[in-house]
Amino acid sequence: MRPEILFTLFKPVTALKGVGPRLGKLIEKLAGGKLIDLCWHLPTGLIDRRFRPHVADAPDGVVVTLAVTVDEHHPSPNRRLPYKVICSDDSGSVSLVFFNAREDYLHTILPLGAARVVSGRVGHYGQEIQMAHPDHIVEPDKADELPLVEATYPLTTGLTAKPLHRAVQGAIDLAPELAEWQDAAWLAKQHWLPWRDALHGAHAPDSMAALEEDDPNRRRLAYDELLANQLALAMIRAAARKRSGRAITGDGRLREELTASLPYQLTSGQRQVLHDIQGDMALPQRMLRLLQGDVGSGKTVVALLAMLAAVETGAQAAFMVPTEILARQHLQTLTGLCTALSLRIQILTGRTKGRPRQALLEDLASGQIDILIGTHALFTEDVIFNDLALTVIDEQHRFGVHQRLNLGDKGAAADILVMTATPIPRTLSLTVYGDMDISLLHGKPAGRKSVDTRSMPLSRLDDVVAGVGRAINNGARAFWVCPLVEENEQLDLAAAEERHGTLSRIFGPEQVGLVHGRMKAKEKDAAMEAFVEGRTKVLVATTVIEVGVDVPEATIMAVEHAERFGLAQLHQLRGRVGRGSEQGHCLLLYAEPLGETAHARIAIMRETDDGFKIAEEDLRLRGTGELLGTRQSGFPEFRLADAMAHQDLMEVARDDARLILDRDPHLETERGQALRALLYLFERDAAVKLLRSG
């Protein structure tokens, strides 16, 4: 349970005075629904009110603080004109301007003849100096209560600066003092303040420099977050390890049979990673290994061999993939590879329903199924394995950490192999996997030529269409990926449908297929199948084909509006072609004029097909969020830490976490208790629970 001292911070924002349901909704949309979310909503700008000129010297457009006397009230002559209050000092006069003002209220705060200190932005209109709706109006003896430097926050439509500012202040004022969880020596070395002070400091920048990621207060908070993350990952890993106690060493029979029947030799890279994986499986500890291999590097057969090792012992294996299409494809691929072996491979997806599903579940529970391929549907509670020994998770960046653990629970001590085709730079993989063991699958199957990549403006669309036409007449098959319109599936669809229409007219309707995310699963499968079997020659698609689909005969990948895609995405798309022995071609069509980043991105695509290099470049060009592909990615989101700016801290946090758990595995010492609070503070509750169960 969350420590009581933190209760307040996890209350809804509406618990704050002055935050009602309407404001609460807006804040929730912007920052999150809890007080702690407001604490993490750091300022991005500041208003400096320290400039206190004479009225006559107040420059146009600048925020100033003026000491004035109230001379006259000019009520608005009609609803469209403002109410003006004329004030002055020795140097000149300034009109305080109010629209829709209540006269009695203005008389209360600005009584005639009174001295006032007002602060706001001034504007010059001809001879008149104005200040519209001053931010602050106070009596002179309260002038020192004015916030001289005020933080400004990112806003959202409908939410204005003042109420948000007040809410943030309210939230951080409620933040309790907490026992220090950081190492004292490390804190001293970094010159960092205690947590609460750092939090207040980060919300009270006194200069632009204090808004930067390298500000000590921000670094302290970022480090807290990184440490919580690393600690949670290390704990999850330790718990996963401890629960095991099963060594998987099959007799090698199935693996030998499969290897003998493969139409190719395993590459040395594949043999190497298999060696790692089988070594792990043979140990009594639970395996938690990440296999990173570029698109087309041949991870599937590696996964299959690992699963066969489990099946040889009479146990079962699960193979989880992110999409229905991919599940079906893997079923086909694996069934195809295993024809010579007597194996029972089945598929379970969201579409498996009713009687067939019931029958399948029974077979699974009684051990009649050796390998179960599936989507998220594998997580469902009533999916019970007889004896699950290995879980393979493919293209896992689509899944969340919780889901991974959840599936692990299905087998008492199931080994876990996570495979990803998106190469993740080291710094990022640390934050996501912590100290998970990592195997890199280097190299590609022999005979694989690198894909010939060209870029050209969309104005040359006709040439491209003609070129694709010639190629398909010679028996080629082409993917045609349509523009990605951010956050608007409807438009994505329209673009794809339109392109499908034009290409159908040119190539003939029977030659051109269409697949997109909104289609019914059956239609999707039918379209994919027609393309896989070569009945259609061109497959127009939105990015549903991005992940893992394997059509060796496809040699052309045309991407429209390539400038709208991320590098990692383009790399994935390009990886769909050139999988067979034929030369692959990738055509990146872009709209002119190309922005600088888009230009750089397309240039990188032409220069290299090294996924790791591309990922590093992507990180450099666009920052982490976009690299990871969108909101649905399974990476934990960092509120405070920045993968680029706080890279140095990431490594320290990992070492720190390891050290902490070595010395105090159950977080029982004084610092251990403080660290528990840290984990709750950053909502790594799941990790704390493991302490108890383990």
Interatomic CA distance for residues 417 and 412, integer angstroms: 15
Contact (Cβ atoms closer than 8 angstroms) between residue 442 and residue 520: no
Of 59-67, 70-78, 206-214, 261-269, which segment contacts ligand ADP by CB under 6 A? 261-269
Tell me the sheet residues that pair with 83: 98
Look at residues 402, 355, 348 and name the one whose alpha carbon lies nearest to residue 377.
348
Residue 548 binds to Mg ion (criterion: CB under 5 A)? yes
Which of 28-36, 100-108, 150-158, 540-548 is the region at the interface with Mg ion (rule: CB under 5 A)? Answer: 540-548
Query: What does the per-residue mask of binding to ligand ADP show for 391-430, with x meaning CB under 6 A?
Result: ------------------------------x---------
Report the nearest approach of Mg ion to the CB of residue 322 (Å).
Answer: 11
For Mg ion, what does the binding mask look like between residues 496 and 535, x meaning CB under 5 A?
----------------------------------------
Compute the half-sphere exposure of residue 125: CA atoms within 13 Å on the CB side of its CA. 10
Q: Nearest Cα to 202, choosing from 183, 186, 224, 227?
A: 224
The answer to whether 296 contacts Mg ion (rule: CB under 5 A) is no
Q: Contact, 403 vs 376, CB < 8 A?
A: yes
DSSP-based helix, strand, coil % in the chain, nearest 5: 45, 20, 35
- Contacts of 538 by beta carbon, 8 Å cutoff, 6+ apart: 468, 472, 477, 478, 479, 480, 503, 507, 511, 512, 513
Nearer to Mg ion among residue 550 and residue 560 (C-beta): 550
Q: Is the peptide bond before 593 cis (omega within 30 degrees of 0)?
A: yes
Query: Does residue 296 interact with ligand ADP by CB under 6 A?
Result: yes
Would you call 411 helix, strand, or coil by DSSP? coil
297 lies in the binding site for ligand ADP (CB under 6 A):
yes
Q: Is 552 in the site for ligand ADP (CB under 6 A)?
A: yes
x/- letters, 266..295, toward ligand ADP (CB under 6 A): xx--x----------------------x-x
Query: Considering the complex, what minimum distance in angstroms separates the CB of residue 270 from ligand ADP?
Result: 6
Dist. CA 412–CA 416, nearest whole Å: 12
Residues 573-602, interacting with ligand ADP (CB under 6 A): 579
Number of residues forming the site for Mg ion (CB under 5 A): 1
What b-and-e string marks burial along 252-287, b requiring 16 or more CB atoms within 10 Å of the CB?
A: eebbeebeeeeeeebbebbebbbebbbebbeeebbb
**Residue number, 199 or 541, with CB nearest to ligand ADP:** 541
Binding mask 649-668 for ligand ADP (x = CB under 6 A): --------------------
From ligand ADP, Mg ion, none, which one binds at residue 519 (CB under 5 to 8 Å depending on kind)? none
**To the nearest whole angstrom, how small is the minimum distance from the Cβ of residue 448 to ligand ADP?**
8
Regarding 443 and contact with ligand ADP (CB under 6 A), the answer is: no
C-alpha to C-alpha distance for 677 and 181, rounded to whole angstroms = 8
**For residues 77 and 447, which CB has a smaller minimum distance to ligand ADP in the complex?**
447
Structure-token pair, residue 642: 């920045």
Binds 267: which of Mg ion, ligand ADP, none (CB < 5-8 Å by kind): ligand ADP
299 binds ligand ADP (CB under 6 A): yes
644: its two tokens? 């680029």
Q: Which residues bind Mg ion (CB under 5 A)?
A: 548
Q: Which residues bind ligand ADP (CB under 6 A)?
A: 264-267, 270, 293, 295-301, 421, 445, 548, 550, 552, 579
